[in-house]
Amino acid sequence: MGSARGQRKIGLRTKLIGLLTAVLVGLTAVFLLFTYDDQARRAETDLLEKSRVLVTEMDAVWDFVSLNQNVINFNSNGEYDYKGLHCAIAGKSVAALFSEKSDYSIRFTNLNPRNIYNTPDAYEAAAIEAFRADDAVDEAWGYEDEGGQQVFRYVRAMDVSDDCIECHGQPAGEIDATGYPKEGWQTGDVAGAVSVVVPADSALANMRDAIVSNMVFFLAVLTSMALVIYVVLSRLITEPLTELRASFSRVAGAGEDREAESDGRGTGPGGDGALRGLPERGSLPSAERGALYSTREVDGLIEQYHSMARRLEELYGSLESQVAERTEQLRRANAELERQRKRVEEINEQLARDNQYKSDFLAIVSHELRTPLTSILAFADLLGQSMDPADEEAARQLEEIDKNGAILLEMVDNVLECARIQAGSETLNLELLDLNDVVGMVESALAPVAAKKGVVFTTRVDYDVPLIRSDWEKLRRVLANLASNAVKFTDRGGAVSVRVRCTGEPGARVIEAAVTDTGIGIPAEAQELIFERFRQENMSTVRRYGGSGLGLSLVKDLVAMLGGAVAVESEPGRGSVFTVTLPVREEDIHD
């Protein structure tokens, strides 16, 4: 955050100066490199041309003496009269005379010189070796440091011509006219080289002067251009932006004054809270800066800002009243919400009391009904034992009393159980149980009922179902309710089966108890409703089969208390399968 603030504090003018400086430094460096390279090449070219001219003149002297050798060394009678002057002597003399009158050094050199003073130095020897190694190379040049002084070295190859054969040709070792043994050269061989040494300090000084003058001129031009660009950009961009910033500051100050006025802290200059410092509508920002430095883009931006500021002034005038109005509306809305919240709390409390009253009423009524019903069934049983077996009508009537009494007692028990569960007074009584005993108890109670109705009733508990810890009575009621419903809704000739098995891998095993029937089935749209209290598929089912609609609701509640789930798969006319799934903890299993 601190770094970001620091960057924002750098002004556009400063950034512009920094950018121009960076560009100026970069261009100066590039121009300096270019100028140095150009002037160095120019100085080297100038020295090279001068050296070539000198060597060419020395070659001309050499050739002149060589061509006039006979004229010099023969008298007027045509007799040979050697006068001690030949091309080498002439060239050496001219070179010595020229060197005395200039700061140049010119001489002839050879790898095997006849005169010790013509022995080549390292630079000349390397050049002669290069000439002999490659016929295409006939000159060499470069800079060297001699005694702390920079010099330019130039060496050109000297080839053997026909005029040279007389003194330097075949046979090798024969004494020539000058008294030296011949070298055995042939025409075209490299005889030696002409070496020129030119002091380079003056040329390099001129080069440096030229670089300095060019750089001074270039810097002057760049500086002038940078100043022009800086002034123009300042007038075209930074000054208008500074103006715009000042307008923003004035608008902000006017807003603070307006807030102070609304808070009762007083008013600033202007009194009416207007956005001071803005030009009047229709004024042109460019008129203050002149046409020269006015631009369409910047003037348009400033004009749009002024238009926006005037619009803000208009909006700000009605903002306080709108805020006050919205605040009052929110206050009233909050008060209404608080009143409704309290009303909802009262209704919830009333509903809770009513629900408790209902549960208490059901529990009391169910308990009070159970006692006389039990007595009725007991006296009906005693009456059946003392009645004449031959009286069929009385036996039929007594059977109806017993059957309907049992149905009514089951309904009362279901209502009582639902009331206890809803009131939260029902608890689990966990114990170690064998599901074979639970299924056997259900079978002994419902098999006679199914047989009397003509329905086949079967049970099966797989051999690998372990002993588990659960609530014996609640599990029995779950299976009994499901099996009772299956028998009730299965017509004569149908079948009902109860199967218990253990599935899943160790550590995630579950007990599945499936009650399957071939009864009337349940439509798909009604399968979610049958587990609700006092709900059956339709009223025709109630009239035909009876029941209160509490059995499956009680099954769902009891299975939930046991930590399991119940599901149904059914198809109308083909029967139903109710499956109860109970999770089993491995530590509670006793195989």
Question: Per-residue pLDDT averaged across 89-106, rounded?
Answer: 70
Q: Going by C-beta distance under 8 Å and a sequence separation of 6 or more, which residues neighbour residue 444?
A: none
Q: Which of 6-20, 206-220, 234-248 has the highest mean pLDDT?
A: 206-220
The Cα–Cα gap between 432 and 468 comes to 6
Q: Are 417 and 554 in contact (CB under 8 A)?
A: yes
The distance from CA 381 to its chain's CA centroid, rounded to whole angstroms, is: 84
* Per-residue pLDDT at 241 exceeds 80: no
According to DSSP, the β-strands at 190-199 and 456-461 are unpaired
Percent of the chain with pLDDT over 70: 67
The Cα–Cα gap between 70 and 91 comes to 17
The Cα–Cα gap between 81 and 399 comes to 179
Q: Going by C-beta distance under 8 Å and a sequence separation of 6 or more, which residues neighbour residue 12?
A: 237, 238, 241
Q: Are 105 and 121 in contact (CB under 8 A)?
A: no
At 141, phi and psi to the nearest 5?
-155, 165
The tens digit of pLDDT for each residue in 503-529 reads: 888 778 899 999 999 988 888 887 777
The distance from CA 275 to its chain's CA centroid, rounded to whole angstroms, is: 45
* Per-residue pLDDT at 496 exceeds 90: yes
* Topology (CATH) of 428-588: Heat Shock Protein 90 (3.30.565)
Q: How confident is the model at residue 284 (pLDDT cuts 50, 70, 90)?
A: very low
The tens digit of pLDDT for each residue in 158-193 reads: 887 776 776 777 787 777 767 778 777 878 788 788
The Cα–Cα gap between 483 and 498 comes to 7
According to DSSP, the β-strands at 468-471 and 495-503 are unpaired
Domain residue limits, the chain: 29-207, 428-588
Selection from 192, 185, 169, 171 nearest residue 112 by Cα = 192
The Cα–Cα gap between 51 and 195 comes to 9
Question: Per-residue pLDDT averaged across 544-550, rounded?
Answer: 53
Q: Going by C-beta distance under 8 Å and a sequence separation of 6 or more, which residues neighbour residue 414?
A: 481, 548, 550, 551, 554
Q: Which range (262-276, 348-362, 530-544) has the least confidence?
A: 262-276
Question: Per-residue pLDDT averaged across 531-558, rounded?
Answer: 63
**Domain 29-207 CATH (choose: 3.40.50, 3.30.450, 1.20.120, 3.30.565):** 3.30.450
Q: Going by C-beta distance under 8 Å and a sequence separation of 6 or more, which residues neighbour residue 420?
A: 363, 426
The tens digit of pLDDT for each residue in 13-44 reads: 677 778 878 888 888 888 888 888 888 888 88
The Cα–Cα gap between 582 and 463 comes to 18
Q: What would the two tokens of residue 392 be?
A: 């069929």
Q: How confident is the model at residue 270 (pLDDT cuts 50, 70, 90)?
A: very low
The tens digit of pLDDT for each residue in 311-336 reads: 777 777 677 777 888 888 999 999 99
Residue 580: predicted pLDDT: 93
Residue 454: predicted pLDDT: 92
Q: Are 139 and 156 in contact (CB under 8 A)?
A: yes
